[in-house]
Amino acid sequence: MKELVRMEGIEKRFPGVHALKNARFDLQSGEVHALMGENGAGKSTMMKILSGVYTRDGGTIEVDGRPVGFDGPGAAQDAGVGIIHQELSLMNDLTAAQNIFIGREPRRRFGRLDEAALNSQAADIFSQMNLDLDPRTPVHQMTIAKQQMVEIAKALSYRSHILVMDEPTAALNDAEIADLFTIIRTLRSEGAGIIYISHKMDELKQIADRVTIMRDGETVGTVPAADTPINEIIQMMVGRSLSDSALELADFEHDNVALEVNGLTRGHEIRDVSFKVHKGEILGFAGLMGAGRTEVARAIFGADPRDSGTLMIHGKQVDIKSPRDAVAAGIGYLSEDRKHFGLATGMDVRANIVMTNLKQFSSSLGVLDEAAMQATAQDYIERLGIRTPSDRQEVRLLSGGNQQKVVIAKWLLRDCEVLIFDEPTRGIDVGAKAEIYKLLIELAAQGRAIIVISSELPEVLRISHRVAVMCEGRLTGILDRQDATQESIMKLATLTMREPSTNKRAAQ
């Protein structure tokens, strides 16, 4: 074992934010070193400094025992540091293979490209990853999960001996996570060092050797993963212990249907989906990547056109053609892709929070009431613990998890009767996650109907009254809370249906 990385006394300031205060970190060869901390603790910033994206304001970095100061990502790559960024950063118009090898494409003479070699090399990486993806697929046609896999493939292709993974599994399902872990273990056995950032606590025990915990830009400590209880790690992260008590779900009104979806169909993505959500109920939606859950949500919300199918709200049929109609009918939707669909990232926190509801803050002439907007924004910042220097901070400067909270705030403010949360806790830290669960349950208890789409089965199981499971665009079954287990869900999630009649029965 030799030391690959040592970072000491790292300082980083952004306007209004002291992001890193005397932070430290080290990485040995042949280990997976997890970096944990609440949203905004400084994990991504630390790693961006290591990989040459940001320059540090203070401190020292040694790579392979030599002090370094990378002046750009290229220099870090040359020194063997590879990184998978938290935010997807792919070239959407290029194919998977073209993305992976950007800057290193196989060439013939005179700068001509060797596309065949490019595609076959990419295919090789995919097969190592056990990933079924045509290297010629343009990125913009892929789901977020597939895009994440391409990012991973790209990082792997560098064969770096120091590999940073910033929340690589946030968009992945269990099967893909398992594949990723296999890859990580192989890399580790070959002597590489992996820095692993995640908010999924259960992954720690599976993959990490050591854990370093950060809080408020400082390094709290480093502990061995195997013999440190999760609770202790959480306590180090949040500075207090969280009660792990089971969440109390209030009963819902079984005879009061809030939203009824009948025969929803759109191309091959959604095939004849029917279900009901009741007032006060949380209906979980489970399924494998690409099962069509997001598509169903978007179709209900009017974000995409439907081929057929009817929607009823409180027993009355509604005709939803656009998100505006949906919001007017009392349906809210939090997209799984906050960067593209959830936020105006160039605008400040305040503007984003009030975006769904400007009418409430304007006079009849359309003049805005800044003071009221500020008060409201401040209120949500406190309620959800959004970590931001002020409500005037641009959202793009917040950490990923805090951005997610801004999206939630904006829909809480709109106060819809039916709320669809698509991957609401993606990239959210444990502490905040628990708060969001509490919030969802509270919202349900107040009489709202809630749909939660999540790829984390434990999450679905914890907070759902019932669990709807999808596979290949069909609803393959709805399980009651007492019947829902990881096993029963996975069975339905992999159930390729042939007979539509079975589908109907299952949907009852």
Partner 1 sequence: MTSVNTEARPGLFSKLVASGAHQKLLAFASLVILLVGFTLASPNFMQVSNIIAILQATSVNGVLAVAATLVIITGGIDLSVGTLMTFTAVMAGVVLTNLGLPLPLGVIAAIGAGAFCGFCSGSFVAKMKIPPFIATLGMMLILKGLSLVISGTRPIYFNDTPGFDLISNGSLIGMLIPSLPIPNGVLILFLVAGATAYILSRTVLGRYCFALGSNEESVRLSGVNTDWWKIAIYSLAGAIVGIGGLLIASRLNSAQPALGLGYELEAIAAVVIGGTSLSGGRGTILGTLIGALIMAVLINGLRILSVAQEWQTVVTGAIIILAVYADMVRRKKSA
Ligand X SMILES: Nc1ncnc2c1ncn2[C@@H]1O[C@H](COP(=O)(O)OP(=O)(O)OP(=O)(O)O)[C@@H](O)[C@H]1O
Counting contacts by CB under 5 A, is residue 86 touching Mg ion?
Answer: yes
Q: Which does 401 bind (CB under 5 to 8 A by kind): ligand X, partner 1, Mg ion, none?
A: ligand X
Distance, in Å, from the CA atom of 4 to the CA atom of 30, rounded to the nearest integer, reads: 10
Q: What residues numbered 479-508 form the site for ligand X, per CB under 6 A? A: none
Residue 347 interacts with partner 1 (CB under 8 A)? yes
Residue entry with tokens 């027993």: 315
Query: Which of these, 491, 404, 420, lies nearest to 452 by C-alpha position?
Result: 420
Count of residues that interact with partner 1, criterion CB under 8 A: 80
155 scored as a contact of partner 1 (CB under 8 A) = no
Q: Is 230 in the site for ligand X (CB under 6 A)?
A: no
Q: How far is the CB of 44 from ligand X (least distance, A)?
A: 3
Site for partner 1 in 167-206 (CB under 8 A): none
| Contact flag: residue 169 with Mg ion (CB under 5 A) | no
208 Rama sector, left if φ>0, alpha if ψ -120 to 50, beta otherwise: beta
Instruction: Report the partner that residue 295 touches, choosing among ligand X, Mg ion, partner 1, none (CB closer than 5 to 8 A by kind).
Output: ligand X
Complex with ligand X: residue 387 or 466, whichever CB lies closer: 387
Residue type, 160: S
| Window 370-409: residues binding Mg ion (CB under 5 A) | 400
Segment contacting partner 1 by CB under 8 A, of 160-168, 279-287, 365-373, 458-466 = 365-373
Q: How far apart are CA 255 and CA 279, in angstroms?
A: 9
Give the nearest distance from C-beta 254 to partner 1 in angstroms: 29
- Write the DSSP string, 400-451: HHHHHHHHHHHHHHHT-SEEEEESTTTT--HHHHHHHHHHHHHHHHTT-EEE
Pairing assessment for the beta strands 3-14 and 58-63 based on DSSP bridges: antiparallel
Alpha carbon distance, N-terminus to C-terminus of the chain: 58
Of Mg ion, partner 1, ligand X, none, which one sits near residue 381, judging by CB under 5 to 8 A according to partner kind?
partner 1
Give residues 356-415 in contact with ligand X (rule: CB under 6 A): 387, 397-402
11 binds partner 1 (CB under 8 A): no
86 vs 427: CA distance, rounded Å: 9
Query: What is the x/- site pattern for ligand X, positions 28-67, by CB under 6 A?
Result: ---------x-xxxxxxx----------------------
58 binds partner 1 (CB under 8 A): no
User: Please, which of residues 257-316 interact with ligand X by CB under 6 A?
Assistant: 269, 287, 289-295
Residue 124 in contact with partner 1, rule: CB under 8 A: yes
Q: x/- binding map, residues 262-301, to Mg ion, per CB under 5 A?
A: --------------------------------x-------
**Is 133 in contact with 249 (CB distance < 8 Å)?**
no
Determine the Cα–Cα distance for residues 154 and 125; give it in Å rounded to an integer. Answer: 9
Question: By CB under 8 A, is residue 410 in contact with partner 1?
Answer: yes
Which one of Mg ion, ligand X, partner 1, none is in contact with 202 (Cβ closer than 5 to 8 A by kind)?
A: none
Strand ranges for 267-315 from DSSP E: 270-278, 282-287, 308-313
Rg (CA), the chain: 23
Residues in the interface with ligand X (CB under 6 A) total 35
At CA 170, angle to CA 279 and CA 135, rounded to 5? Answer: 120
CB of 399 to Mg ion, least distance (A): 5
3-state secondary structure of 66: strand
Cα–Cα distances (Å) from 61 to 4, 65, 135, 197, in that order, read 10, 9, 37, 19
Cross-strand bridge partners of residue 380? none
3-state SS of 179-192?
Answer: HHHHHHHHHHHCCC
The footprint of ligand X (CB under 6 A) covers 14, 17, 19, 37, 39-45, 86, 141, 143-145, 269, 287, 289-295, 336, 387, 397-402, 429, 455
The footprint of Mg ion (CB under 5 A) covers 44, 86, 294, 336, 400
